Structure 1
Amino acid sequence: MDPTRPAGLVDHYLQLCEDRQLEAAGRLLAPGARLVFPGGRRFGSLAEMAAASTGTYRWVRKHRDRYLVGADGDDTTVTSLGRLYGQWPDGSTFDGIRYADVFLLRDGLIVEQHVFNDLAMAVADRPTAIT
């Protein structure tokens, strides 16, 4: 995808985040960008966001299935739809967890990222050992 186009910029950003190249990904964020994750959790930086996920999974990536792009004046909205896959803390794997990421772009930078996914439901549905 062409990173100079809105969907390509978002795809590049998501790949950098997956690869934990957070400094490079951060250069695609506007100053003061809003990062809002499930449960209304807001983060001031990508490093803060990554630290908050510690213990939820060992790693997570996205099957980025499609992008929807719309424009409203100087703003462009890009929605990334797909499925999460990765590894739980116990080493077992997961796949097929739905996600939708909504981005607001202005002047070639991400000013807002809103993350929605079913990860919490998947965690709640996992069998746990009772001791």
Structure 2
Amino acid sequence: MPIVELHLLQGYDDGVKARLGKGLTDAVRFVLPAAPEAVTVMVHEMAAANYYRGGEMRQPAPALPDPTRIVHDYLSAMERRDLPAAQAMLAEGFTMQFPGAAPMTTLEELIAWSKPRYAFVRKTYERFDAMPGNGGAIVYCFGTLHGEWLDGTAFEGIRFIDRFEIAGGKLIRQDVWNDMAEAKAQA
């Protein structure tokens, strides 16, 4: 039974500690064939007043935002067409790649590209998978698309996967895979 001990400065809320516990459990299970309930994570908290580095008292860094929440909030803002809210979640140099399209760097490009394809599209989420990567986080979002073609015909059940890269709490890249072209060809 693997046991992981984490020493943490006081001040982090229970949600942050839960994210750390899950992340450490997942890291152990990535290497060892252990069931989640077989991995023990012990969090030892220490008063920040007792923390020194370089001979100076230091304060703990704030926790990074949950990358899954960032992705969900971004996709929700896009679905509502709240472009200022969505734009605020993008890092400088953000790039997105959709099936059959050249890379795009602005939300306006995405809207112009999608305009001749469908009247609207919405997502039903099956799950979000988050992991560390590239100096930040990688989040995969899985689910199905539903909406309306330009002729007013409804569609639903079209599979999609979105992959996001996040650094510094901002989205830096989005890659999209879906079966929309195949579904449209059969409509």
Question: Residue 44 of structure 1 corresponds to which residue in structure 2?
Answer: 105
Trace 1:85-124 onto structure 2 (pairs within 5 A): 85-124=146-185
* Alignment partners' CA distance in 1, 2:185 and 2:79: 23
Q: Greater helix percent: which structure?
A: 2
Asked if residue 34 in structure 1 is aligned to residue 95 in structure 2, the reply is: yes
Number of aligned positions between the proteins: 123
CA deviation profile, 1:16-44 (whole Å, cap 9, x unmatched): 01111112101101001111111252112
Equivalent position amino acid for 1:79 in 2: Y
The alignment's TM-score, normalised by the length of structure 2, stands at 0.63
What TM-score do the two structures reach when normalised by structure 1? 0.89
Give unmatched runs, 5+ long, in structure 1.
127-131
Q: 1:5 and 2:66 equivalent?
A: yes
Structure number with higher relative contact order (C-alpha < 8 Å, ≥ 6 residues apart): 1
Shift of 1:72: 2.7
Larger Rg: 2
Structure 2 residue 126 is matched with structure 1 residue 65: yes
Q: If each structure's strand is expressed as a fraction of its own residues, which one has the higher value?
A: 1
Partner Cα distance (1:18, 1:86) in 2: 11
* Alignment RMSD: 1.1
Give unmatched runs, 5+ long, in structure 2: 1-64
State, as a whole percentage, how many aligned pairs show the same letter: 37
Report SS of the residue matched to 2:116. Answer: coil
